[in-house]
Amino acid sequence: MASSSSALYYGSAALAIVGTIGYHNFIKKIPASIDPLISLVAIYIFVLIVSAAVFPLFVEKSEIMNNIRQINWTQFGVACSVVCMELGFLLMYRNGWDLSTGNLVTGVVINVILVTIGILFLKENLSTINILGIALSITGVALIGFKA
């Protein structure tokens, strides 16, 4: 793997991690007095502004129309998924989930489902160590949810 590929490989994961940490911290702090859907609309307005600001860093002017032509139903699917995810986490935190456990519990369930989809539909393989990790994650979530 070339060094620029390696930087992109790890850098993209770091960006996702930083974004997710910020996301959960900020969404937990949204005032309960604001309607969740009004809050989401405001979030998407800011997403549009931030995306427009970084747009020139990613897309060359000569490629804009080519990229626009490639928009299809998957962007709509992602949009619906993002609304469900954001509304779900916002409502979870408003209804008493702790920041320290809410994302962890949902994350393990999500990852187990994604592993299943990967195996069944995308022909991905799991090693013994991967299976052990999944079992440990499920055990960990069970222990986190256990009330002594």
How far apart, in whole angstroms, are the C-alpha atoms of residue 52 and residue 108?
33
Kindly give the confidence (pLDDT) of every residue in the chain, 148 residues in length, as a single tens digit, with 9 standing for 90 and above: 556 788 888 898 899 999 999 999 999 999 999 999 999 999 999 999 999 999 888 888 888 889 889 999 999 999 999 999 999 999 999 999 988 788 888 888 898 899 999 999 999 998 999 899 889 988 988 887 766 5
Of 101, 84, 81, nearest to 28 by C-alpha is 101
pLDDT recorded at residue 91: 95
Domain ranges of the chain: 98-148
- Which two tokens mark 87? 């509304």
pLDDT recorded at residue 55: 87
What's the distance, CA 48 to chain centroid?
Answer: 18
Cβ 50 vs Cβ 42: under 8 Å: no
